[in-house]
Amino acid sequence: MSHRTSRRGLLFGTAAVSAGALLAGCTSNDTKDESSAAGGTRPAADDKPGKHVTIGFAGPQADHGWLNAINDNAEQRAKKYADVSLEITEGSNDTAQQIGQIETLINKKVDVLVVLPADGKALTQVGLKAMRAGIPVVNLDRIFNTPQAYRCWIGGDNYGMGLSAGHYIGEKLKGKSGARVIELAGLDNLELTKQRTQGFDDALKNYPNIRKVARQAAEFTVESGQAKMAQLLQAQPRFDALWNHDDDQGVGALRAIEQAGRDDFLMVGGAGALSAFQAIKQDNGVLKATVLYPPTMAASAIDLARALGQGKGVGGLAEFEIPSSITLYSAVVDKDNVDQYMPTGFR
């Protein structure tokens, strides 16, 4: 995740099995006897071709592995459907430019918009503009300031990431007296970073034997991860666990750890990069787990947009309409389940 970009309800099981799992079996074009289903629900969306839907997709510049994976997930999901056309913008971290790109999609009269804003607050008005033009908006991850600016929000759980990381570390260290942990956070001027730290701290309250002795903020880059981790290692000659907020900056953190010759602690990462999964599977270093912030949410956003465009509901739910908010679960991936998640890892 770049320093300009946030990745942020229903809980849908594991994160990698995205909301698309509920949508599977769900843009059914079989409209016979809609009221005969339990609860009288409308048909849900499935893979059968139905009404054609043009989806406009606008996100920030893909200058980070996670954002590249967001774009890839959206494009690959759209290709799955014969009844979906995807109009994708170039992407920009400049809010004015991104607003202009979305306005172009509005003027093209796309059927549905999927928007991951570079700045949720700054792009709220263009979300409102689309909704007022009768174009439903699926707000992806970084949330607009008002629910009036979107029909459905889907994104990750930053507080839940911290909570999951804290509980994993807590369970690993619960038998150790005087355990010490440190935290390599992201950019402190981002709300998501504060949420991740808050979740981590709240989880650790359940383990009175554990004390957080240091915290350093990095910038979600390999370079910053390496530099800030080196500082932490120099300042903390003894600790038992490290939680690193982001697997991209974790690449740099692992370099610093290797250069320092340290292997006396366990490390938990964040997001779900392929490199992290591979290291966890090899199980020959400090990295033992990572907490998901799945880019599969973009594929699920395409599913939701298609369902909205076809006036369908969500398979597995009794309601006529898709939910207004979907929060993905921050699952922990370790050596016991890494094979299951390996296909979702991003580069």
Q: β-strand 325-327 against 179-185: which pairing, if any?
A: unpaired
Name residue 45's beta-bridge partners. Answer: 26
pLDDT of residue 124 exceeding 70: yes
Spatial contact of 158 and 8, defined as CB atoms under 8 Å apart: yes
Count of other CB atoms within 10 angstroms of residue 151: 22
Calculate mean pLDDT across residues 332-345: 96
pLDDT of residue 227 exceeding 90: yes
Cα distance between residue 120 and residue 8, in whole Å? 11
pLDDT of residue 39 exceeding 50: no
Residue 92, exposed/middle/buried by CB under 10 A (0-12, 13-18, 19+)? middle
Q: What is the pLDDT of residue 61?
A: 87
Q: What is the pLDDT of residue 323?
A: 95
Give the range with max mean pLDDT: 10-19, 53-62, 204-213. Answer: 204-213
pLDDT of residue 38 exceeding 60: no
Higher pLDDT, 192 or 21: 192
Q: What is the pLDDT of residue 193?
A: 94
Calculate mean pLDDT across residues 220-247: 97
pLDDT band (50, 70, 90) for residue 46: confident
Q: What are phi and psi of 83, to 5 degrees?
A: -100, 15
Q: What is the pLDDT of residue 313?
A: 85
Pick left, alpha or beta for residue 344 (phi over 0 → left; psi -120 to 50 → alpha; otherwise beta).
Answer: alpha
Helix (H) or strand (E) holding 114: strand 112-115
Cα distance between residue 326 and residue 317, in whole Å? 13
Cα distance between residue 40 and residue 45, in whole Å? 15
Long-range contacts of 103-108 (CB under 8 A, 24+ apart): 103/129, 105/56, 105/58, 106/56, 106/130, 106/133, 106/135, 108/54, 108/56
Cα distance between residue 205 and residue 36, in whole Å? 50
Q: What is the pLDDT of residue 276?
A: 97
| Mean predicted lDDT score pLDDT of the chain | 88
Half-sphere exposure of 318 (CA within 13 A, CB side): 3
Name residue 11's beta-bridge partners. Answer: 327
Calculate mean pLDDT across residues 60-79: 90
Cα distance between residue 159 and residue 163, in whole Å? 6
Calculate mean pLDDT across residues 47-63: 91
Q: What is the pLDDT of residue 189?
A: 85
Per mean pLDDT, which range of 22-31, 215-224, 265-274 is the poorest? 22-31
Calculate mean pLDDT across residues 12-17: 36
pLDDT band (50, 70, 90) for residue 112: very high
Q: What is the pLDDT of residue 42?
A: 57
Domains of the chain: 20-156+295-329 (3.40.50.2300), 158-292 (3.40.50.2300)
Calculate mean pLDDT across residues 12-22: 40
Sheet containing 266-271, strands listed edge to edge, beginning at the edge strand earlier in sequence: 210-217, 179-185, 241-244, 266-271, 287-292, 332-334
Q: What is the pLDDT of residue 47?
A: 76
Per mean pLDDT, which range of 1-5, 205-209, 221-225, 314-318 is the poorest? 1-5
pLDDT of residue 32 exceeding 60: no
Q: What is the pLDDT of residues 261-317, one digit of tens each?
A: 999 999 999 999 999 999 999 999 999 999 999 999 999 999 999 999 999 988 888
Name every residue whose Cβ is closer than 8 Å to that of residue 96 and which is 6 or more positions away in sequence. Answer: none
Spatial contact of 42 and 326, defined as CB atoms under 8 Å apart: no
Q: What is the pLDDT of residue 270?
A: 97
pLDDT of residue 9 exceeding 70: no
pLDDT of residue 23 exceeding 90: no
Half-sphere exposure of 295 (CA within 13 A, CB side): 28
